[in-house]
């Protein structure tokens, strides 16, 4: 596998729409599952409930025995490492909340036709691996390096461009001790759908940076121009804007929908009385959450925050609501230590990246 130019074919036509979901969107939603919001209750998401986003096919890797991670490009010592060799490096376990940059995009009007996330593309796992910097130090980055590309073994087409899924980090970001090359999730070998046998985990960033099925690291003297780096994953108001690269997660919160759901609509029914509302709040780049407010039909009150569980981990919150009969809309809104707060109205983005608008939960109290 190399960084050869990506062949360009005729792109598939897609569009913005405000109407029904296309068969293709429903098909993607079946392949790429979200966290059921009731599972926000787990500090660490059970593996089978962790959200999934796989652009192409999940590679079939029968055994990790023959897997090699290659490191090449602008390095003094190109390397080809086995999984066993990598596992001999100093190991580190980090609890990390990952969110897909497209989370919430199905709630935007009009929406871009793609994986139609509502709220669930968010989860927390405990990742065990070795800091990437140990591998880069072994290979020894050349002084003219300005970008480090990470390629997965999965390959396909997007917008007519054939490529392996790939992303890059600037050398200083790549050398951060918390960026891990990971072989275990929640104490078990990586599941096939989460990147077996090896993946990158970049804490504090949206999920696209955490390349699964990691096969090759290419150190570059020019910016990586793979499809998933650019043009994809840029905030753009118009399709033709140059855009701003998507990087760290924006401040956000979600609540566990209270009461019981209707099977089809998911509308909630709650018994009158004292109702404890709970949820999670997080931000990017390791910035702590400082406040969560809850709104009951537009009246905001502060929630209590649970103790923090780590630099890159969502923070629990709770609020006791004295519910009386009627129709309600519940909302929650987080603020981080930078003073950033979730917008009440989601910022519109051409393909729906970074939607951190407040969640609205309609509830009937009886």
73 contacts which partner out of ligand MTE, Mo ion, none, CB within 5 to 8 A by kind?
none
Cα torsion 207, 213, 219, 221: sign: negative
The nearer residue to ligand MTE, 54 or 350, going by C-beta atoms, is 54
Q: Which of 143, 144, 130 is nearest to 88 (CA)?
A: 130
The nearer residue to ligand MTE, 186 or 210, going by C-beta atoms, is 210
54 contacts which partner out of ligand MTE, Mo ion, none, CB within 5 to 8 A by kind?
ligand MTE
Rule CB under 5 A: which of 317-346 touch Mo ion?
Answer: none
Do β-strands 315-323 and 304-305 pair in parallel, antiparallel, or remain unpaired? Answer: antiparallel
List residues bridging with 65 in a β-sheet. none
Separation of alpha carbons 235 and 271, rounded Å:
42
What is the Cβ-side half-sphere exposure of residue 212, based on CA atoms within 13 angstroms? 23
The nearer residue to ligand MTE, 196 or 328, going by C-beta atoms, is 196
246 contacts which partner out of ligand MTE, Mo ion, none, CB within 5 to 8 A by kind?
none
The nearer residue to Mo ion, 246 or 294, going by C-beta atoms, is 246
51 contacts which partner out of ligand MTE, Mo ion, none, CB within 5 to 8 A by kind?
ligand MTE
Binding segment toward Mo ion, per CB under 5 A, in 12-20, 22-30, 47-55, 217-225 = 47-55
Least distance between ligand MTE and beta carbon 335 (Å)? 24
Decide: is 207 part of the binding site for Mo ion (CB under 5 A).
Answer: yes
Q: What is the dihedral of CA 282, 283, 287, 290, to 10 degrees?
A: -50
Separation of alpha carbons 321 and 304, rounded Å:
12
Separation of alpha carbons 100 and 123, rounded Å:
9
Q: Which of 308, 280, 284 is nearest to 292 (CA)?
A: 280
Task: Report whether 340 contacts 290 (CB < 8 A).
Answer: no
Least distance between Mo ion and beta carbon 101 (Å)? 5
The nearer residue to ligand MTE, 97 or 359, going by C-beta atoms, is 97
- For residue 164, CA distances in Å to 123, 153, 275 come to 25, 6, 48
Q: What angle do CA 312, 93, 49 make, to 5 degrees?
A: 70
Task: Report whether 181 contacts 127 (CB < 8 A).
Answer: no
Residue nearest to Mo ion (CB): 100
The nearer residue to ligand MTE, 73 or 152, going by C-beta atoms, is 152
Least distance between Mo ion and beta carbon 41 (Å)? 23
Decide: is 100 part of the binding site for Mo ion (CB under 5 A).
Answer: yes
* Chain residues in the site for ligand MTE (CB under 6 A): 50-55, 98, 100, 152, 154, 165, 194, 207-208, 210-213
Least distance between ligand MTE and beta carbon 200 (Å)? 8
Separation of alpha carbons 310 and 138, rounded Å:
29
Task: Report whether 181 contacts 86 (CB < 8 A).
Answer: yes
Least distance between Mo ion and beta carbon 1 (Å)? 22
Least distance between ligand MTE and beta carbon 207 (Å)? 2
Decide: is 202 part of the binding site for Mo ion (CB under 5 A).
Answer: no
Burial 111-139 (b: 16+ CB within 10 A, else e): bbbbbbbebbbbbbbbbbbbbbbebbeeb
| Residue 97: DSSP 8-state | E
The nearer residue to Mo ion, 208 or 363, going by C-beta atoms, is 208
The nearer residue to Mo ion, 37 or 53, going by C-beta atoms, is 53
Least distance between Mo ion and beta carbon 347 (Å)? 17
Binding segment toward Mo ion, per CB under 5 A, in 55-63, 151-159, 208-216, 225-233 = 208-216
Six token digits for residue 319: 């609020």
Least distance between ligand MTE and beta carbon 303 (Å)? 27
Site for Mo ion, rule CB under 5 A = 53, 100, 207-208
């Amino acid at each position: 596998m190399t960084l050869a130019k990506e062949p360009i074919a005729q792109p598939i036509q897609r569009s913005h729409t405000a109407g029904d979901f296309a068969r293709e969107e429903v098909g993607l939603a079946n392949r790429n599952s979200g966290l059921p919001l009731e599972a926000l209750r787990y500090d660490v998401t059970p593996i089978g409930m962790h959200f999934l986003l796989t652009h192409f096919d999940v590679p079939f890797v029968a055994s990790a025995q023959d897997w090699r991670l290659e490191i090449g490009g602008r390095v003094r010592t190109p390397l080809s490492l086995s999984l066993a060799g990598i596992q001999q490096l100093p190991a580190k376990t980090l609890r990390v909340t990952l969110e897909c940059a497209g989370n919430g995009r199905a709630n935007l009007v009009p929406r871009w036709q793609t994986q139609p996330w509502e709220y669930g593309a968010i989860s927390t796992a405990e990742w065990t691996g070795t800091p990437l910097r140990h591998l880069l130090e072994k290979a020894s980055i050349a002084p003219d390096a300005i970008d480090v590309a990470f390629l997965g073994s999965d390959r396909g087409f997007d917008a007519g461009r054939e490529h392996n899924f790939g992303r890059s980090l600037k050398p200083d970001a790549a050398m951060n001790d918390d960026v891990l090359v990971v072989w275990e999730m929640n104490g078990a070998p990586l599941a096939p759908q989460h990147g077996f046998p090896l993946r990158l985990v970049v804490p504090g960033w949206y999920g696209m940076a955490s390349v699964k099925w990691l096969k090759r690291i290419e150190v570059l003297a020019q910016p990586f121009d793979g499809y998933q780096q650019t043009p994809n994953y840029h905030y753009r108001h118009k399709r033709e804007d140059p855009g701003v690269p998507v990087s760290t997660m924006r401040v956000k919160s979600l609540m566990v929908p209270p009461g019981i759901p209707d099977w089809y609509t998911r509308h909630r029914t709650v018994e009158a009385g004292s109702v404890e509302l709970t949820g999670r709040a997080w931000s990017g780049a390791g910035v702590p959450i400082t406040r969560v407010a809850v709104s009951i039909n537009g009246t905001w009150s502060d929630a209590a925050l649970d103790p923090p569980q780590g630099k890159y981990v969502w923070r629990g919150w709770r609020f006791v609501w004295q519910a009386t009969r009627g129709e309600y809309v519940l909302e929650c809104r987080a603020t981080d230590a930078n003073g950033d707060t979730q917008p009440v109205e989601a910022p519109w983005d051409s393909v729906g990246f970074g939607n951190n608008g407040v969640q609205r939960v309609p509830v009937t109290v009886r």
